[in-house]
């Protein structure tokens, strides 16, 4: 599954994030829901990769991503810091897809 995509791991704010990426076109961030992993996107990833560059992470504490040390009530994504990482020129749309998974499309 997802053999056409590169698997990587990166350390982000003290947490190792596992993700796959690949495709051509504007970026498309695919976030899984609870209790899935990035593999939830295997049925649609090849088709979407024809038009978008996909990034499919395992959220913190899911799949092969590590979980943060500290309070169990921490946010999944600290929204204020997360938004600052997007260039101001990006337009972002958020859509529900596949039972609680989320697609975020960012087009510069």
Average pLDDT over residues 25-36: 89
How, if at all, do strands 53-57 and 15-23 pair? antiparallel
**What is the pLDDT confidence band of residue 14, given thresholds at 50, 70 and 90?**
confident
Say if 45 falls within a structural domain. Answer: yes
Determine the straight-line distance between the first and last CA of the chain, rounded to whole angstroms.
30
Say if 1 falls within a structural domain. Answer: no
Whether 96 shows a pLDDT value over 60: the answer reads no
Say if 95 falls within a structural domain. Answer: yes
- Range of the structural domain that residue 17 is part of: 6-107
Cβ atoms of 27 and 103 closer than 8 Å:
no
Rounded-to-integer distance, Cα 88 and Cα 59, Å: 24
Q: What percent of the chain has pLDDT over 90?
A: 47
pTM beyond 0.85, yes or no: no
What is the total count of domains within the chain?
1
Whether 28 shows a pLDDT value over 60: the answer reads yes
Question: Can you give the CATH number for the domain in which 95 is found?
Answer: 3.40.50.1820
């Amino acid at each position: 599954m997802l053999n056409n995509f590169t698997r990587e791991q990166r350390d982000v704010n003290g947490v190792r994030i596992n993700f796959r990426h690949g495709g051509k076109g504007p970026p498309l961030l695919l976030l899984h829901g609870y209790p899935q992993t990035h593999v939830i996107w295997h049925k649609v990833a090849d088709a979407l990769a024809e038009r978008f560059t996909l990034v499919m992470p395992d959220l913190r504490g899911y799949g092969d991503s590590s979980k943060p040390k500290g309070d169990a009530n921490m946010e999944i994504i600290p929204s204020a810091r997360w938004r600052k990482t997007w260039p101001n020129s990006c337009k972002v749309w958020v859509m529900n897809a596949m039972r609680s998974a989320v697609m975020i499309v960012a087009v510069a």
